[in-house]
Amino acid sequence: MSNKTYDILKWIAQYLLPACATLYFALSGIWGLPYGEEVVGTLAALTAFLGVILGISTAQYNKKDHSDGILDIDTSSPDKDLYRLNLTTGFEDLKLKDEIKLKVNPKAYISQEEHRL
């Protein structure tokens, strides 16, 4: 599911359907509109269904690693800290992004050989 689809469905589930249910419930009482309980019950069921689907989608999204790389930090030397950037996203893909996301590994070890490179 795309981010745009997710955002639209979330807005529908959080705002549109509950607002419609509340409006119909109030108007059916005032104006004697038919099937008040049925309409409100249906809208509540749709809201609950969308909430579950969106909850599952969110949980699956959060399980995935969406970072573009890891910043390793080696603080074992008393002279200076060492840093290493390990990218998991290629340069061609990076140049298409407005921002990147990195995980930080503050307990990395960077060997002297790597440090000389």
Better pLDDT: 41 or 3: 41
pLDDT of residue 28: 96
Confidence (pTM): 0.59
For 65, residues 6+ apart whose C-beta sits below 8 A from its C-beta are 103
Query: What is the rounded CA–CA span in Å between residue 40 and residue 7?
Result: 23
What's the rounded Cα separation, in Å, for the pair 99 and 84?
Answer: 19
Whether the per-residue pLDDT at 73 is higher than 90: the answer is yes
Answer yes or no: is pLDDT of 61 > 90. Answer: no
pLDDT, position 63 = 81
21, 22, 97, 10: which is closest to 56 by C-alpha? 10
Percent of the chain past pLDDT 90, that is, above it, reads 64
Mean predicted lDDT score pLDDT of the chain = 91
Q: Please check whether residue 105 is in contact with residue 73, taking contact to mean a CB–CB distance below 8 angstroms.
A: yes
Average pLDDT over residues 65-78: 90
Q: CB-based contacts of 44: which residues, under 8 Å, 6+ apart?
A: 21
Look at residue 117 and tell me whether its pLDDT is greater than 70. Answer: no
